Structure 1
Amino acid sequence: MASATLLLPARTRLVGAPLPETMARALGRADRLSGGEPGERAQLLRHFQLLPRGWPAAALTRQMDVGDAAGAQWLRADPAWVRPDINGARLFACAEGMQLVQADVDALLPALRPLFGDLGFPIDAPNPARWYLRLPPGTPLPVFVAPEDALGADLLDSLDATTTGADAVSRRWRVLLNEAQVVLHTHPWNERRVAAGKPPVNSLWFWGGGQLPDHVSSPHAAVQADDTLLRALAAQAGLALAPYAPRFRLPATAALCDLRELRDPDALCADWLAPALDALRRGELARLQLDFADGEGYLLLRPQRWRWWRRPVREFAAAPARPTSA
């Protein structure tokens, strides 16, 4: 029978009016799933198993973009905008947030190729938002911070977290980033972007290093999403892919639906949770799981309607989740 799992943002991002009474009762009677690790990586790893373990985001998206990820180590070197402020500098945009087109790639990438090519790390951009370094297998790398964890944060703090320690590997990548920033900062193309009201591409953001996994599996059979990394994971696991839809549709199988960009609790309730709960009550849906990015969640099953003694949940972020109980 069909089931649905909804990937959702952190509960604090869905603060708004109290939940409708029917939904408040359903969530109060549901099994609460507590204690999950927060963040995008942890949330996706609750639904995908990678062997060997790791988080080689660059290799996964490269395989989806080009299909040549096997046999090499990959690192994302995404175009970024770093903006100085009174206390230092902050990462303001990266990758898709830069809204680059092919003309930007054609203008900027040739200036970076000698810097990385001389080190044996060729750089290319099969997609204007996703730039890659191809590294020889086994190239030592620091632990890089994903851009979603660095956006808006002080750049020096993020770089310190990215290149932990004072070892030669960390120093090498700090120097390489500084050299790339010099190349981009002085590039005349950025003057054209600024004149057109666009942010300059004045930095790169390294992240997602690793090799393509030998095996990716998932308990789901289909994924409904536009997110690049999620679709790349689904493709490696052999799941059926569908684009993001604006409202719930009864799936034919076990479906994972990506709603992490939603911020309107009213829209979530009206377009997704209400019709999904109706399908659950009619017996058309075997189970409904809500997975929030802060690590908490709910599992809703049809027999839970008899838990009439449970108190309703009036809003998503009202209280920490309880352990699963009968």
Structure 2
Amino acid sequence: MITLLLPARSRFGGQRLSPATGKALARADRSQAAADPSEEGHAQLARVLDVIPRGFPVAAAARQRDAGDAANAVWLRADPAYVQPDINGARLLSYGQALGLSADDAAALLRPLKPLFGDAGFPIDAPVPSRWYLRLPPGAKLPGFTSPEQALGADMFDQLPEGPEGRRWRALLSEAQVVLHNHPLNAQRSAAGLAPVNSLWFWGAGVLPDHVRSRFARIASDDETVTALAALAGGQVGARPSAWPGEGDDALFDLRDARDLALLEQDWFAPLLTALAQGQLDRLQFDFADGVRYDLARGQRWRFWRKPLRSFIAGAAGNAA
């Protein structure tokens, strides 16, 4: 079975489904699972990854993948970031891999940050230039942090943690921003037309899970939460291709960032529905963030009395006419 992990159906608005997709979904078995109350997608991801204890400790999972030393500590990502001030505050515009740091760049930027975080009891390092980590002692209490995907483009100060613990991390962030603002590498980057690394982004706190399991032999995603935790589950984990590769089974493709239904139809829905009709696939599942799932099988073609869906909104309203 191939599973497509998709955003909430409302993201596509009134965009029209192709006749083939509308017909296939109308004839499919539809079920309702838990919806995600926020944009974090945790209810949907829990259908893909069984993490014990419950939660999504991205920093610890990614640290284990990157360095193999995540046990016996609490981990927090402190990824390099570019924040642009504006009249109302500051906005996170870029982070991590998008900044294109080399290993030498990361080492130079971290050099003055190490005393700052070391004195606070949180050693910082970067086994990968785009992924920076803070090691915290076992039992360390942390506030809630927002993932960079959710904060991207938003007012940075609205995304930072509140409360007594939050104030401590806001203060550390301010000190780190001063250090980075004065770093000579950022002057060189700006002169070369590159975004400076003038901030950090804290997120993904937690300890290494006891276990992570998945029913999928292959998971293809560009989301760090998915790939880091899926790596602990074993199986094949990699970047998502631009279109269905035309082979494989027992696989999940993470398409939650999709917004253009026409591209989805062209690159994914049409070739997969053709493969299903021709018997190349046994089953196909559409899993939406609002909890709706469509399970498609070849034998459903006999349900010809069902009216095709015109759009996902029509499907949500239960009106396919």
What TM-score does the superposition give when structure 1 sets the normalisation length?
A: 0.87
Identical pairs, percent: 56
How far residue 175 of structure 1 moved from its aligned partner, in angstroms, is: 1.2
Q: Secondary structure at the match of 2:108?
A: helix
Write out aligned runs for 1:236-275 (5 A).
236-249=232-245, 251-275=247-271
Q: 2 CA distance for matches of 1:218 and 1:148? A: 23
- Which residue of structure 2 aligns with residue 155 of structure 1? 156
Change beyond 3 A, Cα 1:87–1:245: closer
Q: What is the letter of the counterpart of residue 186 of structure 1?
A: N
Q: Is the 8 A contact 1:4 1:251 kept in 2?
A: no
Q: Secondary structure at the match of 2:316?
A: coil
How far residue 286 of structure 1 moved from its aligned partner, in angstroms, is: 2.3
Q: Secondary structure at the match of 1:82?
A: strand
Are positions 1:232 and 2:234 aligned together?
no
- Which residue of structure 1 aligns with residue 35 of structure 2? 36
2:20 paired residue among 6, 19, 22: 22
Give a deviation string over 1:285-322, Cα, whole Å, max 9, x none. Answer: 22211123454442222333233232322234555276
Q: Is the 8 A contact 1:8 1:258 kept in 2?
A: yes
**Which structure 2 residue ranges, 5 or more long, are not aligned?**
none
1:171 paired residue among 167, 174, 177: 167
Q: 1 CA distance for matches of 2:317 and 2:252? A: 22
- Which residue of structure 1 aligns with residue 49 of structure 2? 48
Change beyond 3 A, Cα 1:317–1:100: farther
Are positions 1:287 and 2:287 aligned together?
no
- Which residue of structure 1 aligns with residue 295 of structure 2? 299
Q: 2 CA distance for matches of 1:196 and 1:12? A: 41
Give a deviation string over 1:50-104, Cα, whole Å, max 9, x none. Answer: 1111111001111111111112110000111121111112211222232322232
Q: What is the letter of the counterpart of residue 36 of structure 1?
A: A
Q: Secondary structure at the match of 2:127?
A: strand
User: Larger deviation: 44-53 or 271-280?
Assistant: 271-280
Q: Secondary structure at the match of 2:267?
A: helix
Q: Is the 8 A contact 2:74 2:136 kept in 1?
A: yes
Q: Is the 8 A contact 1:297 1:321 kept in 2?
A: no
**Which structure 1 residue ranges, 5 or more long, are not aligned?**
none
- Which residue of structure 1 aligns with residue 68 of structure 2? 67
Q: Cα RMSD between the aligned structures?
A: 2.3
How far residue 112 of structure 1 moved from its aligned partner, in angstroms, is: 0.4
Q: What is the letter of the counterpart of residue 100 of structure 1?
A: L
Q: 1 CA distance for matches of 2:195 and 2:239? A: 29
Q: 2 CA distance for matches of 1:102 and 1:13? A: 38
How far residue 138 of structure 1 moved from its aligned partner, in angstroms, is: 0.7
How far residue 187 of structure 1 moved from its aligned partner, in angstroms, is: 1.7
Q: 1 CA distance for matches of 2:49 and 2:250? A: 14
Aligned residues: 315
Change beyond 3 A, Cα 1:243–1:98: closer
Q: 1 CA distance for matches of 2:71 and 2:232? A: 12
Q: 1 CA distance for matches of 2:91 and 2:248? A: 45
User: Larger deviation: 240-249 or 213-222?
Assistant: 240-249
Q: 2 CA distance for matches of 1:294 and 1:36? A: 4
Q: Is the 8 A contact 1:33 1:321 kept in 2?
A: no
How far residue 237 of structure 1 moved from its aligned partner, in angstroms, is: 1.0
Q: What is the letter of the counterpart of residue 26 of structure 2?
A: G
Change beyond 3 A, Cα 1:84–1:33: farther
Q: Is the 8 A contact 2:284 2:296 kept in 1?
A: yes
User: Larger deviation: 306-315 or 146-155?
Assistant: 306-315
How far residue 33 of structure 1 moved from its aligned partner, in angstroms, is: 4.0
Q: Is the 8 A contact 1:74 1:210 kept in 2?
A: yes
Write out aligned runs for 1:178-217 (5 A).
178-217=174-213
Q: 2 CA distance for matches of 1:24 and 1:319? A: 9
How far residue 133 of structure 1 moved from its aligned partner, in angstroms, is: 0.3
Q: Is the 8 A contact 1:39 1:295 kept in 2?
A: no
User: Larger deviation: 127-136 or 267-276?
Assistant: 267-276
Q: Secondary structure at the match of 1:320?
A: helix
Q: 2 CA distance for matches of 1:174 and 1:236? A: 31
1:218 paired residue among 205, 214, 217: 214
Q: What is the letter of the counterpart of residue 308 of structure 2?
A: P
How far residue 140 of structure 1 moved from its aligned partner, in angstroms, is: 0.8
Q: Is the 8 A contact 2:56 2:225 kept in 1?
A: no
Change beyond 3 A, Cα 1:235–1:305: same
Q: 2 CA distance for matches of 1:82 and 1:250? A: 40
